[in-house]
Structure 1
Amino acid sequence: MALAYYKHLDGTSAFGVWKIEESAEELYSQLQLKEDEKAYIETLNNGKRNLHWLSTRVLLRKMLNTGKYIDCQVDEHGKPYLVNFPHHISLSHSFDYAAVIISEDKPVGIDIELVKTKIERVAGKFLVNEELNFIDPEKRIEHLYICWCAKEAVYKLQGKKTVSFRDNIRLQQFECQEEGSLTAILEADQECRSFDVHYEAFKDYMIGYVTGCKELVS
Structure 2
Amino acid sequence: MPIFQTINNRENTQIFIWKITEPEAFLRAGIVLSENSVNRLSTMSSELHRRGFLSIRHLLKKAGYSDLDLYYSEHGKPHLTDHKYISITHSFEFTAIIISDVPIGVDIEKQRDKIKRIAPKFIGYEENFIASIEDPVKELTVVWGAKESMYKLYGHKGLGFKAHCLVEPFSMQSDQTVARIVFKDDHLKFDVFFKEVENFMLAYVIPSRNA
- Same-fold call, TM cutoff 0.5: yes
Task: Answer yes or no: is 1:199 the counterpart of 2:194.
Answer: yes
- Choose the corresponding residue for 1:133, options 128, 136, 152: 128
Task: Answer yes or no: is 1:170 the counterpart of 2:170.
Answer: no
| TM-score normalised according to structure 1 size | 0.88
C-alpha separation in 1, matches of 2:15 and 2:5:
8
- Choose the corresponding residue for 2:120, options 121, 124, 134: 124
Task: Answer yes or no: is 1:95 the counterpart of 2:117.
Answer: no
2:34–2:67 Cα contact (<8 Å) kept: no
CA spacing shift, 1:139–1:60, aligned 2, 3 Å: farther
4+ long deviations beyond 4 Å: 213-216
- Identity, in percent, stands at 32
Task: Give 2:2's aligned residue.
Answer: 2
- Choose the corresponding residue for 1:112, options 87, 108, 111: 108
Give the superposition deviation at 1:140. Answer: 0.8
1:5–1:17 Cα contact (<8 Å) kept: yes
Gaps of 5+ in 2: none
C-alpha separation in 1, matches of 2:209 and 2:153:
13
C-alpha separation in 2, matches of 1:11 and 1:215:
14
| TM-score normalised according to structure 2 size | 0.91
Task: Give 1:212's aligned residue.
Answer: 207
Gaps of 5+ in 1: none
Deviations, residues 114-152 of structure 1 (Å, cap 9, x unaligned): 101010110000111x41210142341111111001111
Give the superposition deviation at 1:213. Answer: 4.7
Q: What secondary structure sits across from 1:137 in the alignment?
A: coil
Instruction: Report how many residues are paired.
Output: 210
C-alpha separation in 1, matches of 2:72 and 2:29:
22
Task: Give 1:86's aligned residue.
Answer: 83
1:13-32 alignment, distance < 5 Å: 13-32=13-32
